[in-house]
Structure 1
Amino acid sequence: MGVDYYNILKVGRGATEEELKRSFKKLAMTWHPDKNPINKKEAEAKFKQISEAYDVLSDPQKRQIYDSYGEEGLKSAELSGSSGGAGSYSFNSRNAEDIFAEFLGKSDGRSYGDGFGSQGSKKAQPVETKLACSLEELYKGSRRKMRISRIVPDEFGKPKTVDEILKIDIKPGWKKGTKITFPEKGNHEPGVMPADLIFVVDEKPHAVFKRDGNDLIVKQKISLLDALTGHTRNFTTLDGRTLTIPVMDIVKPGQQVVIPNEGMPVSKEPSKKGKLIIKFDVIFPSRLTAEQKSDLRRVLG
């Protein structure tokens, strides 16, 4: 028989006119392209199929021929006054809008009283969710998989909860406040376009480093002896390397050492990096013996 129009409309072969109308309305409301901007091609095909099925089954003459001879019978039959004209029956995408508009009693298939034909100006407020990232993730980049649950209409227009996995590719150098938008992944309520789902990057505190724009800051306590005589410091970088920093000059309180190109990647130019800034806190001894004071006077005097 080819296409099963009864199955497409989710009705039995003995469906009444009222049952056809009720089922068509639910399915058309669910699959109209204006309600499915993300999967528009799929929705257009489904909407056309639903409208074609209703066009055939709601017309007694077409339905009788279809029941007797199937889809091929419709194509070869002479249906006076049908959309294909005398001699054949054909269906195109424009018919789908015309049928839906006629069904709703409208002259314009794009203007619906149910609130979704003009959804371009009616959309739910965006939903923002924090995406907490470690400095290591923001340094090297990573992929996150986020499971979400949202409410969408089923094929009959009734709300149902669906789970979905969203993949987020975190780019090296992203900063706190960076937004990743998934258009219309919020709940789908009648008469309103679904809200955009927005993940907002947040930075987890780090045990060693603090971020300042593209720079990384690390605070180091050193003894007065090291400050005066020199020392070497080892750091484990955010990508796991060991960085050895020799400091041979005398370190004064509040002094800092700047290491170029060892900070965070620049998001728009990942090959470039900010600075690593080491801030020293010189720890003075709480007391000295008379002998130590004498030695210091002899050496420094």
Structure 2
Amino acid sequence: MGKDYYKILGITSGSNEDEIKKAYRRMALKFHPDKNKDPNAEEKFKEIAEAYEVLSDPKKRVIYDQYGEDGLKTGGTGSSSGQGTTYHYTFHGDPHATFASFFGGSNPFDIFFGSGRQRGTTNGTNDHGGDHDMDIDMDGDDDPFSSFSHFGFNGINGFHHGGGRRHRNEPLHGGRKKVQDPPVVHELKVSLEEIFHGCTKRMRITRRRLNPDRRTMRTEDKILNIVIKRGWKEGTKITFPKEGDETPENIPADIAFVLKDKGHPLFKRDGSNIIYTAKIGLKEALCGCTVNIPTIDNRAITLPCNDIIKPGTIKRLRGEGLPFPKNPSQRGDLIVEFQVRFPDRIPHQSREIIKQHLPQS
């Protein structure tokens, strides 16, 4: 006994196109895995998408009404004009693509996790936004700072980033224009050392691609080379066009990676500057001292402090920060912020001496 698509959508076999759309909208929102935490919601969400894909297509619906699910998928004979045709249908298996296509790239839940499964290597293009617009040079081999990771764009780590915008159209499929799926965006964490030196990240993705018959699909792996230039800022986006899942009914989504700074044990980043907190005692703050300041390239700079250091005092070491994105031969500054450690207690004799020598406030 095949699936009852009408029952899945909660409608009758006489329902018209508008009723089918309303039913899909209602059921898809109800059982979307981002909203419904029931363990069976994912499977139900997939069944709803499959039912809509069939019943919203007049040709598929005619065959389904006459031969049921088995006839539709194994090849049945049916035609509204009375002429026999052989037709095979296999659900593409991605209910999120159906959801994205139905809502035109927008998402009632703000972010919905979707597909983008992706042998070969590909380099991406980057987008800094604002006044950091740069071209990415994808020539050259991997450097010593390269790494290798794997992503399966099936809703774990990535999110569609459509913002309600429709993407490029391609030729009609089943009487409807193909619409590109929203981009699948992933956060890519990089260390300050990787930003200082530049590096290449290698990501293996698994995706689905159409076979030459343009109906059946295969699963394949692909290596994406993400070349990270010196000084790139957090938020820089590297895009790989149309590297997502490909189905008979969609244009593959773009895959994008957005840089995110990793935490560092010594430094904090402020654009192209880096900040180091130097901790000194009260004696050093009042009487002077010399502090060894570590740098991002594993050197140490001797910083003499002859004046009184107040809590929060800042000293700037010029050109010891990160490279500027547009001019990597130039660097930002290393900013030293002083933190003064006060003693928990002072002996009475010492307190009297301090009173004698310190001015009244």
- TM-score (norm: length of structure 2): 0.49
Letter in 2 for 1:233: V
Unaligned runs of 5+ in 2: 1-85, 87-169
Equivalent position SS for 1:269: coil
8 Å CA contact 1:115–1:192 kept in 2: the answer is no
Alpha-carbon distance in 2 for matches of 1:178, 1:112? 33
1:114 maps to what in 2?
173
Cα separation, 2, equivalents of 1:236 and 1:257: 14
**Secondary structure of residue in 2 paired with 1:253:** coil
SS in 2 for 1:239: coil
The AA in structure 2 aligned to 1:291 is: Q
Shift of 1:276: 1.3
Contact 1:116 1:191 in 2 (8 A): no
Given residue 241 of structure 1, which amino acid in structure 2 is its aligned partner? R
Deviations 1:64-109 (A, max 9, x none): xxxxxxxxxxxxxxxxxxxxxxxxxxxxxxxxxxxxxxxxxxxxxx
In the TM superposition, 1:152-301 aligns within 5 A as 152-157=209-214, 158-300=216-358
CA separation of 1:248 and 1:112: change in aligned 2, threshold 3 A: closer
Cα deviation digits, residues 249-269 of structure 1 (max 9, x gap): 210122111111111211011
Once the two structures are TM-superposed, the CA of residue 112 in structure 1 deviates from its matched residue by: 5.0
Could you tell me how far 1:155 is from its partner in structure 2? 2.6
Which residue of the other structure, out of 176, 180, 185, is the alignment partner of 1:128?
185
In structure 2, what is the Cα distance between the partners aligned to 1:190 and 1:146? 26
Distance 1:116 1:140, change over 3 A: farther
Contact map agreement 1:116 1:192 (CA 8 A) in 2: no
Q: Hey, what's the Cα distance between the residues in 2 that align with 1:112 and 1:208?
A: 55
1:244, distance to aligned residue in structure 2 (A):
2.3
Residues 153-162 or 124-133, more deviating: 153-162
Give the deviation of 1:163 after TM superposition: 0.6
- Among 144, 148, 152, the alignment partner of 2:205 is 148
Query: How far does residue 289 in structure 1 lie from its aligned partner after superposition?
Result: 1.1
Report the Cα distance in structure 2 between the residues aligned to 1:112 and 1:197, rounded to whole angstroms: 22
Hey, which of these two has a bigger chunk of helix by percent? 1
* Corresponding residue of 1:40: none
Bigger radius of gyration among the two: 1
**C-alpha distance in 2 between matches for 1:230 and 1:182:** 55
Q: Distance in 2 between matches of 1:154 and 1:213?
A: 46
Question: Which amino acid in structure 1 is aligned with residue 173 of structure 2?
Answer: D
CA distance in 1, matches of 2:188, 2:299: 26
RMSD of Structure 2 on Structure 1 (CA): 2.3
Name the CA distance, whole Å, in 2 between partners of 1:237 and 1:295.
39
Distance 2:247 2:266 in 1: 46
**Distance of 1:270 and 1:112 partners within structure 2:** 44
Q: Residues 113 and 214 from structure 1, CA distance in 2 versus in 1: closer, same or farther, beyond 3 angstroms?
A: closer
Q: Is the 8 A contact 1:116 1:193 kept in 2?
A: no
User: 2:177 and 2:303 mapped to 1: Cα distance?
Assistant: 63
Query: Is the Cα–Cα contact under 8 Å of residues 296 and 321 in structure 2 kept in the other structure?
Result: no
Counterpart Cα distance in 2 of 1:279 and 1:115: 65
Q: Which amino acid is the alignment partner of residue 200 of structure 2?
A: R
Which residue in the other structure is 2:133 paired with?
Answer: none
Corresponding residue for residue 83 of structure 2: none
Report the AA paired with residue 196 of structure 1: D
The AA in structure 2 aligned to 1:141 is G
What displacement does 1:300 show? 4.3
User: C-alpha displacement at 1:185, in angstroms?
Assistant: 0.7
Matches of 2:204 and 2:316, distance apart in 1: 42
CA distance in 2, matches of 1:115, 1:281: 68
Q: Secondary structure at the residue paired with 2:258?
A: strand
TM-superposed CA distance for 1:290, in Å, is 1.9
Q: How does 1:73-88 map to 2 (within 5 A)?
A: none
Counterpart-to-counterpart distance in 2, 1:112 and 1:231: 73
CA distance in 2, matches of 1:262, 1:193: 46
